[in-house]
Amino acid sequence: MAADTLPKVIYEHEGVFIHSNSDDDGLEQDLLLSGSLRIVDKDGEIIVEYRPLEDSVDPSNMLCAGKDSSSVMEWAQCPGERSHQLLETQQSYETEWDMVNAVSFKRKPCTNGEGTLNHSHERSRWAFSFSISDLRSITIKEEGWSYLVFKLKESSTSLPALHFHQGGSTEFLDSLRRYSLLSEAPDDDTCFLVSTPNRALSQSFENLLDDNNFGLVHKLKKDPYVTTLGSFSKVTNYIFDAIRGSEEQHQRPPEEVADLLGEIIPGLEINQQEEPGFEVITRIDLGTRPEVQRRGPLSAEDWAKHLDPEGRMLNIAHLKQVIFKGGLCHAVRKEAWKFLLGYFPWDSTLEERKALQRAKTDEYFRMKLQWKSVSEEQERRNSRLRDYRSLIEKDVNRTDRTNRFYEGIDNPGLVLLHDILMTYCMYDFDLGYVQGMSDLLSPILYVMENEVDAFWCFVSFMDQMHQNFEEQMQGMKTQLIQLSTLLRLLDLAFWNYLESQDSGYLYFCFRWLLIRFKRELSFQDVLRLWEVMWTGLPCQNFHLLVCCAILDSEKHKIMEENYGFNEILKHINELSMKLDIEEILHKAEAICLQIKSCKDLPHSISDILGFTTDAAEPGSQESPRPARPTHQQEAFSNGHGHLRETSHNSCKVAFIS
């Protein structure tokens, strides 16, 4: 039998205390036990462990920070009144900082070997561990410091409270949230109820993406909707448990899953015709879909004609139109993508771009040095950086390995992929790395063949895609609502069919939107699609019309075969690598023109596609890369999915046949 793999440490914090032999009011303690709290991954099971350290702490020998945080006073074992006074003093000041800066401990003396054995027995008595799947709730309380009380689902034994005298409770809860959903109890705002995915569903993002290694088709036949939703890492972890239920339950029926999705992701209620603020309209006749013509890719010679003697781009509106209509030949991409993504300003001279590259090179390597210079000892105390590095190393080793740029052992392309993603963690440490981001970087690095240029182009792309990877799924939620609105306008009968099959949420489009069709198209087709979308033409959110074009081509088969919930998901997933990019772009552009020609277009549709503003007019010389919108900005800030819902309900619309 193969040896078990070593557990992966997700979170570790020393200096977590148990107040043993405490009375009900928690004011008098006979002994403080200091220990180490860890969250570890043991073969896919997430375990919380507490182990007391070698030396227990006697409160009579503990030195506590005084009022000014610059001196210490002895915390003597005294009558209750004096202990109570000291506690009140601590609660009046920044106790956690005081404890970090000024607490010291003296070893409790042991007179003989028997005392050592007694202490060992005392320590082992307070050690405990449990799986988070067995955890029912966590109660968070304050007593001048934070302490947590755990309650298990099926246990008559109560666990001791863990006291975070030296801080760290927030980081512990944040780490726990990566693997479970903590929801506030309705009757107690200090208590959080815990729900977790079962082990079978806790596969990470690449399980869905790597068909060969994980048998996607087999899993889809068995359980398509779980396979589709099943493990977009940080993005969707917390929906698994509600979809699947407990280990003992059977698979939930599709109609129940659809209801649960609406509950788990607030704001994704699609068929809410009576909700105030909805724009109620009748069925709209969009007229005949116009014919459109596409052309070949822009050549290097044509690109050069758009440069003046100082290197400024000329006739930018025409240039974007040509790129939208046919894309770019590969020889032009390395330079053109920098403009399309907003790394280079369209009106910059050649010398200005060289100066920009020099400045950006310095900035990049300063950030790269930050993680390169972290010692092993430092990283041991930085769980987030360790987690980012672990995820990146795992993803890099499976990203586009059939592409010659990344194939083989010790490929320098893989090293660059790794280093850019690690440096991005320094650039945006709040987001860090989320599985799937390597898919967005890979084509950019392939085109740029330069570490610094690839990084800054990736930064620009991530500015557009950022909300797709945030834990609250704000970008994904907004796009799914908008896509549903567009689909209802284009084909109400098809949308009603999907709704009747509990598929109105369009979750089968999740992967399309999350990584911009990266796993649906061949590598070269991805390059073509992305550069077309980066022009910002012919409207905002053109990628949503790409989704509509694909669904328009598949609707007859779905409806004629009377596909149900599971069959729809299976069919959509099996389209991967079978799509014709030129046919899709042709149809998506025609759909855009068809909608735009409608005289009585609902305001919500105009807002989604940007027909009510001049932001996406062909004559615009602005880069499509926006600053990240604030909470006050409109949801439809650009054509590339960097979305935020508005405070009003203009994006919602109810259709009446």
Asked if the model's pLDDT at residue 494 lies above 50, the reply is: yes
Query: Is pLDDT of 247 > 60?
Result: no
Q: Give the per-residue pLDDT at 123.
A: 56
- Is residue 264 predicted with pLDDT exceeding 60? no
Evaluate whether 329-468 and 474-609 have a shared fold: no
Please give the angle made by the CA atoms of 477, 588 and 210, to the nearest 5 degrees.
55
- Give the pLDDT of residue 5: 64
Structure tokens that stand for 173 in this block: 């809860």
Q: Pairing relation of β-strands 146-152 and 135-142? A: antiparallel
H or E, element range at 42: strand 31-42
Confidence of residue 143 (pLDDT cuts 50, 70, 90): confident
Q: What is the mean pLDDT of residues 635-640?
A: 35
Which secondary-structure segment (H or E) carries 88? helix 80-91
Least confident of 18-32, 438-452, 494-508, 597-611: 18-32
How high is the pLDDT of residue 612?
73
DSSP letter, residue 65: E
3-state secondary structure of 633: coil
- Of 141-145, 308-312, 353-357, the range with the lowest mean pLDDT is 141-145
- Give residue 103's pLDDT: 30
CB 174, CB 156: distance < 8 Å: no
Q: Which CATH architecture has domain 329-468?
A: Orthogonal Bundle (1.10)
Highest mean pLDDT among 82-86, 307-311, 596-600: 307-311
Hey, what amino acid is at 473?
A: M
What integer pLDDT is reported at residue 626 of this predicted model?
A: 41
Report the distance separating Cα 162 and Cα 143, nearest Å.
12
Q: pLDDT value at position 189?
A: 82
State the average pLDDT for the chain: 75
Q: What pLDDT does 182 receive?
A: 83
Q: What is d(CA 418, CA 148) in angstroms, rounded to the nearest whole number? A: 37
The answer to whether residue 504 scores a pLDDT higher than 60 is yes
pLDDT at 21: 59
pLDDT at position 43 is 79
Domain 8-22+29-54+123-195 has CATH 2.30.29.230: yes
pLDDT at 97: 31
| pLDDT for 258 | 53
Predicted confidence at residue 127, as pLDDT, reads 87
pLDDT for 220 equals 42
Q: Token digits for 168?
A: 């760290």
Q: pLDDT confidence of 136, banded at 50, 70, 90?
A: confident
Tell how many helices (H) and how many strands (E) occur in the chain: 27, 14
656 pLDDT exceeds 70? no
For every residue of 415-445, DSSP letters joined together read: HHHHHHHHHHHHHSTTT---TTHHHHHHHHH
424-468 pLDDT, tens digit per residue, is 999 999 999 998 999 999 999 999 999 999 999 999 999 999 999
474-609 — its CATH code? 1.10.472.80
pLDDT tens sequence across 206-229: 344 444 443 444 444 444 444 444
Please state, in angstroms and rounded to a whole number, the distance separating the CA atoms of residues 415 and 407. Answer: 12
Looking at residue 248, what is its pLDDT?
Answer: 39
Q: Contact at 8 Å (CB) between 625 and 637?
A: no
pLDDT range class, residue 414, cuts 50, 70, 90: very high
How far apart, in whole angstroms, are the C-alpha atoms of residue 364 and residue 370?
10
Q: Are strands 45-52 and 31-42 parallel, antiparallel or unpaired?
A: antiparallel
Task: Tell me which of 181-195, 251-265, 354-368 is least confident.
Answer: 251-265
Structure tokens given for 161: 């409270």
Residue 284 identity: I
- Residue pair 35/16 in contact by the 8 Å Cβ criterion: yes
Percent of the chain surpassing pLDDT 70: 66
Which tokens belong to 652? Answer: 């919602």
State the DSSP string of 254-282: HHHHHHHHHHHSTT-----TTSTT-EEEE
Q: State which H helix or E strand residue 135 sits in.
A: strand 135-142
Summarize pLDDT for 350-373 with one digit per residue, the tens.
999 999 999 999 999 999 999 999
pTM over 0.75: no
Q: Where along the chain do its domains lie?
A: 8-22+29-54+123-195, 199-245+255-264, 329-468, 474-609
Which is higher by pLDDT, 287 or 549?
Answer: 549
For residue 197, the model assigns a pLDDT of: 57
Whether omega before 538 lies within 30 degrees of 0, making that bond cis, reads yes
363: its two tokens: 């900035």
pLDDT(204) > 70: no
118: tokens are 């007694």
Residue of 326, 325, 343, 346 whose CA lies nearest to 334 = 343
Q: What is the mean pLDDT of residues 166-176?
A: 85
Q: What percent of the chain has pLDDT over 90?
A: 47
pLDDT recorded at residue 259? 54
pLDDT digits (tens, 9 = 90+) for 77-132: 344 444 444 333 333 333 333 332 333 333 334 444 444 444 455 556 788 888 88
